[in-house]
Amino acid sequence: MTLTETARGPAPDAELERHFEATIARNDRIEPRDWMPEGYRKTLVRQIAQHAHSEIIGMQPEGNWITRAPSLRRKAILLAKVQDEAGHGLYLYSAAETLGVSRLELTELLLAGRQKYSSIFNYPTLSYADVGTIGWLVDGAAICNQVPLCRTSYGPYGRAMIRVCKEESFHQRQGYELLATMMRGTDEQRAMVQESVDRFWWPALMMFGPPDADSPNTAQSMAWGIKRNTNDELRQKFVDMSVPQAEALGVTFPDPELRWNEERGHHDFGQPDWEEFMEGVKGNGPCNAQRMAHRRRAHEDGAWVREAATAYAAKQRKATA
Amino acid sequence: MSNLSAEGGHGAVPLQGVPTGEGVTPPEPEWPLWEVFVRGKRGLNHVHVGSLHAADDRMALLHARDVYTRRNEGVSIWVVRADAITASSPDEKDPMFAPSGDKVYRHPTFYDIPDNVPHM
Ligand SMILES: [Fe+2]
Ligand SMILES: [Fe+2]
């Protein structure tokens, strides 16, 4: 213990906590060097780190199609989109590191399977239409989640989300445009689009998490200003947004309960298969093993690059010393 | 399905029963952390946009370009080793900013000027 710490004595927690609560109540942002409750910090680390992992793993389902893009235009677009997702991961790791953890530690936790990523990326991409559907529905659902997070109470997370949201709009629009182009094509192409939408609709709804009654963390996260809307609110918003978009595209969603409810001013819709969701989270989704194996391989294959760059930097330092 | 919530941003992820990284020993030394500052266009100051890891300053600049300026967000980039920055605490009980708190006479609105005096 240093002299200054002894002189100042231990931090008066109650007062610091009051100060923290007042900042949250004012709708002000918490910044990295502020005092914060341990629970707040840990919740943020979990959320931001696993958001980052989702962006990084999220490159795989679409990256799968880059070499088989149907035209140079589509290939350039898909490359840019996948590169953006890498960028999103890095913005988020950068935000997580302001909370006193290192990116390498978080990467280790992902590779060990101890931290998770969004289950949506455990579904396979079976046709090029899936690239469009992911842009439209999966990035669309991500936008619903991420827009309120721009106002989240932790400054670095909110700022990362603002950057991410600016880029997501491109992701959604290129996906929708891709599907619209296919819908103007042959019967076979239209069938490909519908088949793809049928596969991704329910997993997209699962992205918002279990119903509010089964989400005990929501209340605390909302009290801390980390989360701004409940899972069900966001899911409803997504469904209401997506229905007219589907009509304009000429596709349907595979939900017999989906209909407009005049009284509520919202669409009614069915519940996704939450068993399937839980299996995905536990690591038993259709592509979990493949996604993790790929991520581990990429990390190991990159080891020599990291070592070489480190050695080169050391050599340069010696030369200039 | 209790431990889940939608705060994953890109989809629901568990917020309980997940380790947060403390105490995990990375198997290799990590590249140093650099803070990145971007000048959005001529005439503006450089503004802090985030951080990244790189082995040396040149790599930090190239990574900063790829991560933070994919859409013409900048005309100039600064990268600074994070451990070279000295910072004040924004908050706490720190009296750092107290000296400016009680000097209202440093602001133009402190002075009463008659309404009929133009251009002031
Ligand atoms: Fe993203
Ligand atoms: Fe995206």
Give the chain B residue nearest A315 (alpha carbons).
B56
Q: Are strands B76-81 and B33-39 parallel, antiparallel or unpaired?
A: antiparallel
ipTM of predicted complex? 0.89
Which residues touch A132 (CB under 8 Å, ≥6 apart)? A175, A176, A177, A178, A179, A182, A193, A196
Q: Which CATH number among 3.10.20.520, 3.20.10.10, 3.40.50.720, 1.10.3210.10 corresponds to the domain B4-87?
A: 3.10.20.520
pLDDT at B97: 78
Q: How far is the alpha carbon of A31 from chain B, nearest alpha carbon, in Å?
A: 8
pLDDT at B5: 56
Of A102, A116, A234, the CB nearest to B14: A116
Alpha-carbon distance A53 to B64, whole Å? 20
Alpha-carbon distance B74 to B39, whole Å? 5
Ligand in closest contact with the CA of A170: 2
Q: Does the distance separating the beta carbons of B51 and A94 come in below 8 Å? A: yes
- Tell me the CA distances in angstroms from A155 to A14, A168, A225, one per residue in order: 23, 20, 11
pLDDT at A281: 86
CA of A164 to the centre of ligand 1 (A): 6
Residues less than 5 Å from ion ligand 2, measured at CB: A 139, 168, 171
CA of A210 to the centre of ligand 2 (A): 22
Sign of the Cα torsion B84, B22, A224, A53 reads positive
Task: Please give the share of chain B, as a percent, with pLDDT higher than 90.
Answer: 56
Q: What's this model's pTM, rounded to 2 decimal places?
A: 0.92
Alpha-carbon distance A44 to A50, whole Å? 10
List the structure tokens of A202. Answer: 């329910």
pLDDT tens digits, residue range A105-140? 999 999 999 999 999 999 999 999 999 999 999 999
Q: How far apart are the first and last CA of chain A?
A: 34
More confident residue, A39 or B93: A39
Q: Which residues of chain A fall short of a pLDDT of 50?
A: 1-9
User: Quick check: B55 contacting A, CB < 8 Å?
Assistant: yes
Of B22, B27, B50, the CB nearest to A94: B50
Of A114, A167, A226, the CB nearest to B19: A114
Optimal mutation site among A35, A45, A46, interface B, most CBs of chain B within 10 A: A46
Nearest to B35 by CA among B10, B57, B4: B57
pLDDT at B1: 44
Alpha-carbon distance A44 to A64, whole Å? 31
Contact A201, A276 (CB under 8 A): no
- Confidence band of B14 (pLDDT split at 50, 70, 90): confident
CA of A55 to the centre of ligand 1 (A): 5
Q: Which amino acid is at B9?
A: G
Our CA dihedral for A197, A203, A205, A209, rounded to 10 degrees, sits at: -170
Alpha-carbon distance A245 to A132, whole Å? 13
**Residue tagged 């209790």 (tokens):** B2
pLDDT tens digits, residue range B37-91? 999 999 999 999 999 999 999 999 999 999 999 999 999 999 999 999 998 876 6
Taking phi over 0 as left and psi of -120 to 50 as alpha, with beta for the rest, B64 belongs to alpha
CA of A36 to the centre of ligand 1 (A): 28
Q: Across chain B, what does the average pLDDT equal? A: 86
pLDDT at A33: 87
Query: Long-range contacts for A185-189 (Cβ within 8 Å, ≥24 apart)?
Result: A189/A129
Q: Does the distance separating the beta carbons of A218 and B10 come in below 8 Å? A: no
CA of A171 to the centre of ligand 1 (A): 8
B6, pLDDT greater than 70? no
Of A19, A104, A166, the CB nearest to B30: A104
